[in-house]
Amino acid sequence: MILNHKDYERYRKIIKIQNMIRVSRIFLVLIILSLTIVIVYNFDLDFSLHSASNNNQIVNVGVDPECSDLSFQNTSICLNDYVRSIFIYNVTDDEIDLTIEDLKRRGGDCKDWTDFYFRYMEYYGYDQDNQKISGLVEEKGNVSLKHVSLMSFDPTGYCHFDMRSLECYQYVNDKGEVRG
């Protein structure tokens, strides 16, 4: 079949549109694939209903670490020993609250480990005065990079939790007697 010039131009337009649709489909598939990869690797997709204000839902009773019925400093040491055994450093979006299972599986950054210590110190009854300390590390344009750690206080002393590091001090009077 021989096409006249008018029909040939229509045929070329149809072919051109079909090719544009094919390219658009491929481009759309690549965009969807890229977004899926970004969502899977950058967001916590735990759809369980828990709030940061209710530590009993975040701290799973009967799950490691088992640091109950210990003194303030021994609880701190127990928690730090546990963190050292599972520690993985992984920069995480600060909007995400990680559970202990998340920390074991994928790790976290200074904010996540500080949250872990904060929740567990409160869970084990040492909630008199826990303070998160945030310090500016660097500013890159309109983004501020900060480091976060925890200071936890008790009538017997205080401890500074910084990811895998722990420093504890007891209150001692001039006679060398430990307050407690």
pLDDT of residue 38: 80
The domain segmentation of the chain, as residue ranges, is 1-42, 58-170
pLDDT of residue 49: 39
The span from the CA of 153 to the CA of 41, in Å, is 36
Is domain 58-170 annotated with CATH 3.40.50.720? no
Q: Which residues contact 76 (CB under 8 A, 6 or more apart)?
A: 121, 152, 159, 161, 166, 168
Helices (H), the chain: 5-42, 55-58, 72-86, 100-106, 110-123
pLDDT of residue 12: 87
Segments of the chain with pLDDT less than 70: 1, 42-64, 180
DSSP string over 20-41: HHHHHHHHHHHHHHHHHHHHHH
The span from the CA of 11 to the CA of 16, in Å, is 9
Torsion (CA) 13, 17, 22, 25 in degrees, nearest 10: 170
pLDDT of residue 32: 92
DSSP-derived 3-state class of residue 130 = strand
Q: What is the pLDDT of residues 18-40, one digit of tens each?
A: 999 999 999 999 999 988 888 87
Contact (Cβ atoms closer than 8 angstroms) between residue 170 and residue 73: yes
